[in-house]
Every structure is written in structure tokens, then in C-alpha cells.
Structure 1
């Protein structure tokens, strides 16, 4: 299935072309503040484009993930690993898609703050 997402102002567009069984809500210090719902796939299945201003990235903690957000409206749209050649996964923030589509996808809660395990199985 193909999902299309955009930041609030429409500057950044993300296309996610992969099936999704569930989304992840993480409670680590950054994800908690972002309020993101992450959907994961191989980087080849994601396309990112922008219209007026390139995304700005932010690295946190162990510096292995870059969170990308719009320079104009501030919405976090996706994250990429810092070493794109050494990964099989990146994520799109599904809070940037049509809310009606979210009702059809299971949300799993991940304890990224303490145990690094899913809270609900």
C-alpha cells in the first residue's frame, strides 16, 4: 500500500510504499515530545521531496538516527539512520497522513525510555 504524508505547510512530502502491520508509539525522551507514530520500511520504499525549503535534521542520544523536520512549519516527517549504507530500516511519522487512515492500523507501544521492549504484545 502507498501512504502519502506531508508536513503542516505542505513543504515536505513523504511517500511510503510498503505494507504496514502496526505503528510504533515510543516513550523515549524525543519521541514522547514529538508525539510521533512511526511506520518502518526499507529506505528504498520511501521517497522524500520538498518544495521551498529542505528538511532540517536533528540527531539525539547515540547519534544513530536523524529526525527530519520542516524548516518552515516545524513538523517532524521522518527519520533516517545516520549510516544509510548500513541499514535496512527508516521511519515515516504517520501522524502526517490522513487521520482516517490511522484508524485502520494497530498502534504498539514501545518503552524506549527504560526497557527497550514493547509494552503491549
Structure 2
């Protein structure tokens, strides 16, 4: 697929963003949070994301408290999370929040987050 430009948002539109992402590289996780949310996510460097509307957002931290899960306090949708890996700031983009993308048609890599 290669890197393409996408727009995304929470359900009510209070959080909106644009992202350059390769949806051939999506992930699903079996940790307690991702499993409950049905997340399909892709990780991108923070430079690949432009926030169009950022909020307000509410933060949720769990487990090792290294990932800042950001969600809309109005509609409850979590369009992204922020974190860091190997010194690089990253976004975890909720592919379900991207306009015109059917995340269920993608084939995600499975991560065993439940074992961490």
C-alpha cells in the first residue's frame, strides 16, 4: 500500500487530525484495553501527524503508564495514543477513526500485549 495521507477524528469531531501512514503495517493487540476497544492501530512518528482540532482530550494511563491514551470526553472515542519507543516519539493511530478506511478489511499483525 505504501504511505498515504489520511484524515481522522473522534465521532463528534472535537479531535481531528491528518496522518501519513502505511496501512500495510497495522496491528491488533490482546491486552485488556485494546481487546475491549477492538483497536486496529498503526504506529507513526509524531512528525507524521498534524492535529487539526485537539480537544479537549482526557488522558488514561494503565499498566506501565508509558502510553498516553487520549480520548474525547464528549463522545468517548480514543482516536490516538502517544508514547515513545527507542527515544522516538510516536503516535498509535486508531485506524477505525480514519475516514474512508475499513479497518476490518485489513490484516493486522497480532501483538501479545496480554503477556507484558
TM-score range, shorter chain: 0.7 to 0.9
Partners of 1:33 and 1:103 in 2: how far apart?
15
Per-residue CA deviations over 1:71-95 (Å, capped at 9, x if unaligned) read 11000010001x69x3243211001
Displacement over 6 Å in runs of 4+: none
Partners of 1:76 and 1:56 in 2: how far apart?
9
Tell me the TM-score normalised to structure 1 length. 0.79
Give the 3 Å change call, closer, same or farther, for CA 92–100 of structure 1 in structure 2: closer
Aligned-CA RMSD value = 2.4
Deviation for aligned residue 1:21: 2.1
Unaligned runs of 5+ in 1: 117-121
Partners of 2:65 and 2:90 in 1: how far apart?
16
Unaligned runs of 5+ in 2: none
**Count of residue pairs the alignment pairs up:** 113
Tell me the TM-score normalised to structure 2 length. 0.82
